[in-house]
Amino acid sequence: MPNRNPHSPGDGAKPETPDELLDCRVEMLGLDLSAVADAGNALQEIMRKCPICGYREACVADLKRDPNDPVWETYCPNAKALLGLAESSWTTR
């Protein structure tokens, strides 16, 4: 499978807060949240779910270990929505 996440988390900083986790994941997908702001409800739902997610430790570990590994898609409650936003933003570029 080709590497669909061309970015890496730069300095290896550990994402600590839900917002940082979401920011890292968004960056990995090459998403610009301001560009997808018109997604409205989808974006609001993503931002609501992230802070209460039960998989934060796994998310942190995966982002540190290999942020390009798609294993996060198997447990992240936002995976489908994030991938949908990413795909739609890729097709409009």
pLDDT for 17-51, tens place per residue?
557 889 899 888 988 777 666 666 888 888 889 98
* 28 occurs within a structural domain: yes
Within the chain, strands assigned E span none
Question: DSSP per residue over 23-51, as a string?
Answer: HHHHHHTT--TTTTGGGTHHHHHHHHHGG
pTM of the model: 0.72
Say if residue 12's pLDDT is above 70. no
Domains held by the chain: number:
1
Amino acid at 50: C
pLDDT averaged over the chain? 78
Q: Please, which pLDDT band fits residue 8 given cuts at 50, 70 and 90? A: very low
Place of tokens 């300095």: 11
Helix (DSSP H) and strand (DSSP E) numbers for the chain: 4, 0
Say if residue 3's pLDDT is above 50. no
CA–CA dist 33, 89 (Å, integer)? 10
* 6 occurs within a structural domain: no
Q: Residue 45: give the domain boundaries.
A: 18-91
Say if residue 2's pLDDT is above 50. no
